[in-house]
Amino acid sequence: MEEIFTIRNADRKDIPLILALIRELASYERLADQVVATEALLEEWIFDKQKAEVLIAEEAGVPVGFALFFHNFSTFLGRAGIYLEDLLILPAHRGKGYGKRLLTHLAGIAVERGCGRLEWSCLDWNEPSIAFYLSLGAVPMDEWTTYRVTGEHLEALAGSKEK
């Protein structure tokens, strides 16, 4: 009997689906106005430059979610880790254990590749996700603050380097 839930690696034909799932996640996170990704950018950075990987979760062959991740590096551990940028299970499919199965699969990839850790960020107000992550043994990094430079500030910072 064929399993109803499967996880597979995304390929180029999934680019429109990946962008749609990114937009769905951004809408849930109240950040839809910040999505500037295009299919061309996703193809370039995920498949041509291979800077990220995507897992597609399917129920009976129908996409129900995704996980987008990439490798980072821990100088303290002296080896790579995996950073989970995005995880989404579509609302109609939540509560079936699919999110846990995606994270379990990703943890398996991390172990198989010899990575020292798996980490991600979660918005402070997202209590359902926080409770879910805590139930898996994840530990919040409360003593750390994430900083970001984008857009014109990134351009200005790049322009301030000594010539």
Residue positions annotated with a catalytic role: 133
For residue 58, give every residue at least 6 positions away whose Cβ sits within 8 Å of its Cβ, in sequence order, or none.
Answer: 5, 6, 7, 8, 64
How many C-beta atoms lie closer than 10 Å to residue 148's C-beta?
Answer: 6
Q: CA 100 to CA 81: how far, in whole Å? A: 19
Closest C-alpha to 45, from 77, 70, 13, 9:
70
Q: CA 51 to CA 66: how far, in whole Å? A: 17
Phi, psi (degrees; rounded to nearest 5) at 147: -115, 150
